[in-house]
Amino acid sequence: MSTRKLPLIEIGYQVFTRDGGEEVGAVRQVVPADRPEIVVYIENTGDFVIPLSAVTAVHSQKVIIDMEKLDERAKIAINRAHDAEKSRT
């Protein structure tokens, strides 16, 4: 299995499911305990472990992730990230 080199990811970077899309969370930890993953706070839900293999791009302090490579709990949380905002309108 080959490993691709990602640009530096830093705490506080915003997380998106597609470039130009709506932010779904922010990076809280990078490679905790030397595991190939990041911890992301997903809005309205909490912290989730995202494997680095799900990261498709890093640029402009943004991390783009591939929803297809996430576990079901993370997908549900991301899909609900902006529910509280929608209920206020």
Looking at the domain assignment, is residue 4 inside a domain? no
pLDDT tier for residue 48 given thresholds of 50, 70 and 90: very high
Please name the residue that has the structure tokens 């929803």: 67
Q: What percent of the chain has pLDDT over 70?
A: 89
Residue that wins the pLDDT comparison between 47 and 34? 47
Looking at the domain assignment, is residue 78 inside a domain? yes
Question: Cα separations (Å) of 70 from 66, 84, 85?
Answer: 7, 22, 24
Looking at the domain assignment, is residue 35 inside a domain? yes
Q: Which domain holds residue 78?
A: 14-84
Looking at the domain assignment, is residue 2 inside a domain? no
Distance of CA 71 to the CA centre of its chain: 12
Which stretch of DSSP H or E encloses residue 75? Answer: helix 72-79
What count of residues does the chain have?
Answer: 89
Query: Do 52 and 3 form a contact (C-beta atoms < 8 A)?
Result: no
Looking at the domain assignment, is residue 34 inside a domain? yes
Predicted confidence at residue 86, as pLDDT, reads 60
